[in-house]
């Protein structure tokens, strides 16, 4: 059988459970994944006076061919996006500004420094998201930024975040797609602090100042991201989960859940439903922690599928903003984007092809035997045939055929970068 014939056969299997596969694919095509630009250059950026990567972040490996210029990075993104079904967004950090060789301090960045990104995105129908870069900088060298006791340093980062919000607004206006501007800071202490409240008070005051200007949520959504610990901040993190969830709720902004930013025994899939009860929207950064926040490329594993199921079964595809956040310098970077993004979409498809209402009913009836049996049986339903057809109708390679495209691109483009 060819791909279409296998699709029709698989579709009939799901139809027995009242699942309209054609409708599922129509809904899936509307979902936009925010693909992070920093996988392509190992979080290096393009600042004239760039600093070594710091702030508890590490990109390990030295696979050849990383992007060295904005043009190379956009070319690599083009290649990856051509292998991924659907129309998506690209997530930028402030260090990806283009300043024509001038040294522009981070508190002085302007929308004009991202006009090339906007024109590129506009030509391709992409949206853009944004992040102030509050690490890898002399004013972050002691591990404290928005919570720093030094007012001069706090004020610098406040100005940077204010400038970042204006860039997010610019993206939203120019591209007609709302930009998510997400604030994450590395602030914390290596050993037991004598004062936990003071830094959090300073962080709260800094955020209050950053958010003073009202920006239309049609163009820009403000977001804060917590973390449980970082390298060099093992004992105490200022921006904890409790701090940011409370701050976001009180100030009517979004909380972002990063799948690597919790204790190893915690899972983000269990948090999504709780957040959805109280928040209009929730943001995600999806990566794969291996024992710690290691940001491995996401694979089609149980937790990724569980995250997708929580989004789908709670009718939250339009409420959960899905971004990716992994960076692996030990493998081909275009392949990393492709593997991870395809897996995220594949997990959503898997969740959309589950008899979710039936499973909920069984749970409410206390019929846990049938619930478990069906959940297990659907793991081997012919979802792969549906996925292959979805790739085909979106004009991207089916199965592992995308790897040939990446190998060719590596041979013709990446291998020539020295």
pLDDT per residue as tens digits for the range 202-216:
999 999 999 999 999
Residues 402, 307 share a domain: no
Residues 327, 199 share a domain: yes
Domain boundary among 352, 375, 393: 352
Give the range among 49-53, 173-177, 367-371 with minimum mean pLDDT: 49-53
pLDDT for residue 24: 98
Residue 202, strand partner residues: none
Residues 182, 315 share a domain: yes
Structure tokens at 73: 């990075």
Residue 285: active-site member: yes
Question: What CA–CA distance (Å, rounded) separates 401 from 83?
Answer: 9
Catalytic, out of 66, 285, 309, 346: 285
Catalytic, out of 11, 113, 160, 261: 261
Residues 264, 186 share a domain: yes
> Is residue 51 pLDDT above 80, yes or no?
no
Catalytic, out of 47, 76, 222, 293: 293
pLDDT for residue 288: 96
> Could you count the other beta carbons within 10 Å of the beta carbon of residue 324?
26
Residue 258: active-site member: yes
Catalytic, out of 225, 303, 310, 385: 225
Residues 171, 190 share a domain: yes
Catalytic, out of 41, 42, 258, 303: 258
Q: What percent of the chain has pLDDT over 70?
A: 100
pLDDT for residue 58: 78
Catalytic, out of 42, 47, 187, 295: 295
Is the Cα dihedral 405, 409, 411, 414 positive or negative?
negative
Residue 76: active-site member: no
Question: What CA–CA distance (Å, rounded) separates 323 from 36?
Answer: 7
Mean pLDDT value of segment 176-200: 97
Residues 266, 390 share a domain: no
Q: How confident is the model at residue 112 (pLDDT cuts 50, 70, 90)?
A: very high
Catalytic, out of 325, 385, 405, 410: 325
DSSP 321: E
Beta-strand relationship, 89-93 and 33-36: parallel
pLDDT for residue 231: 85
Mean pLDDT value of segment 142-146: 95
Using CA atoms, how far residue 55 sits from 108, 206, 275, 308, 330, in Å, is: 21, 19, 27, 30, 21
Q: pLDDT digits over 54-78, tens only?
A: 777 778 889 999 999 999 999 999 9
Residue 30: active-site member: no
Residues 326, 208 share a domain: yes
pTM: 0.96
Q: What percent of the chain has pLDDT over 90?
A: 93
Residue 410: active-site member: no
Residues 156, 137 share a domain: yes
Q: How confident is the model at residue 402 (pLDDT cuts 50, 70, 90)?
A: very high
* E runs forming strands in 54-206: 89-93, 127-131, 179-183, 188-189
Residue 246, strand partner residues: none
> Is residue 50 pLDDT above 90, yes or no?
no
Question: What CA–CA distance (Å, rounded) separates 271 from 258?
Answer: 11
Domain boundary among 304, 320, 352: 352
> Could you count the other beta carbons within 10 Å of the beta carbon of residue 52?
6
Mean pLDDT of the chain: 96
Nearest to 313 by CA among 340, 342, 348, 365: 348
pLDDT for residue 377: 97
Residues 107, 150 share a domain: yes
Domain boundary among 329, 352, 375: 352
Q: pLDDT digits over 271-281, tens only?
A: 999 999 999 99
pLDDT for residue 177: 98
Rg (CA), the chain: 22
The parent domain of residue 379 ranges over 1-30+355-418
Residues 58, 192 share a domain: yes
Q: pLDDT digits over 269-314, tens only?
A: 999 999 999 999 999 999 999 999 999 999 999 999 999 999 999 9
* Number of domains, the chain: 2
CATH number for 280: 3.20.20.150
Catalytic, out of 36, 227, 281, 309: 227
pLDDT for residue 55: 74
Residue 184: active-site member: yes
Report the run of H or E that residue 12 belongs to, with start and end: helix 3-15
* 3-state SS assignment for residue 222: strand
Mean pLDDT value of segment 106-128: 98
Residues 391, 263 share a domain: no
Burial of residue 310 (number of CB atoms within 10 Å: 0-12, 13-18, 19+): buried
Question: What CA–CA distance (Å, rounded) separates 371 from 365?
Answer: 10
pLDDT for residue 407: 98
Q: pLDDT digits over 350-376, tens only?
A: 999 999 999 999 999 999 999 999 999
pLDDT for residue 214: 96
Is the Cα dihedral 151, 156, 157, 158 positive or negative?
positive
Q: pLDDT digits over 225-273, tens only?
A: 999 988 889 999 999 999 999 999 999 999 999 999 999 899 999 999 9
Residues 131, 73 share a domain: yes
Residue 261: active-site member: yes
Catalytic, out of 38, 157, 184, 402: 184
């Amino acid at each position: 059988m060819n791909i279409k014939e296998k699709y029709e056969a698989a579709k009939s299997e799901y139809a027995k459970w009242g699942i309209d596969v054609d409708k599922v694919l129509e809904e899936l095509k509307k979902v936009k994944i925010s693909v992070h630009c920093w996988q392509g250059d190992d979080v290096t950026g393009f600042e004239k006076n760039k600093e070594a990567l710091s702030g508890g972040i590490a990109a390990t490996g030295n696979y050849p061919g990383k992007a060295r210029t904005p043009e190379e990075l956009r070319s690599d993104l083009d290649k990856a996006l051509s292998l991924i079904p659907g129309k998506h967004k690209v997530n930028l950090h402030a260090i990806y500004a283009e300043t024509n060789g001038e040294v522009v301090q981070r508190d002085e960045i302007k929308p004009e420094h991202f006009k090339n990104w906007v024109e590129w995105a506009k030509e391709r129908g992409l949206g853009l998201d944004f992040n102030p870069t509050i690490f890898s900088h002399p004013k972050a060298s002691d591990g404290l930024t928005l919570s720093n006791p030094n007012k001069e340093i706090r004020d610098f980062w406040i100005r940077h975040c204010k400038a970042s919000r204006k860039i997010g607004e610019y993206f939203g206006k120019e591209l007609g797609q709302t930009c998510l501007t997400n604030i994450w800071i590395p602030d914390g202490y290596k050993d037991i602090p004598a004062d936990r409240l003071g830094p959090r008070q300073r962080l709260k005051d800094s955020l209050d100042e950053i958010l003073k200007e009202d920006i239309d949520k049609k163009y820009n959504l403000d977001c804060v991201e917590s973390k449980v610990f970082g390298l060099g901040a093992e004992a105490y993190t200022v921006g904890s989960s409790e701090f940011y969830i409370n701050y976001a709720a009180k100030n009517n902004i979004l909380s972002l859940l990063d799948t690597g930013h919790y204790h190893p025994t915690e899972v983000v899939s269990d948090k999504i439903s709780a957040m959805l009860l109280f928040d209009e929207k929730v943001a995600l950064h999806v990566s794969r922690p291996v024992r710690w926040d290691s940001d491995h490329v996401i694979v089609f594993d149980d937790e990724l599928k569980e995250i997708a199921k929580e989004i789908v079964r709670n009718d939250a595809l339009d409420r959960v903003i899905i971004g990716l956040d992994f960076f692996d310098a030990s493998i081909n970077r275009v392949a990393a984007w492709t593997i991870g993004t395809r897996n995220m979409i594949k997990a959503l498809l898997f969740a959309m092809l589950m008899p979710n209402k039936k499973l909920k009913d069984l749970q409410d009836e206390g019929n846990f035997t049938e619930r478990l049996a069906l959940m297990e049986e659907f793991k081997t339903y012919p979802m792969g045939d549906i996925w292959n057809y979805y790739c085909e109708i979106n004009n991207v390679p089916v199965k592992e055929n995308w790897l040939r495209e990446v190998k060719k691109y590596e041979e013709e483009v990446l291998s020539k970068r020295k």
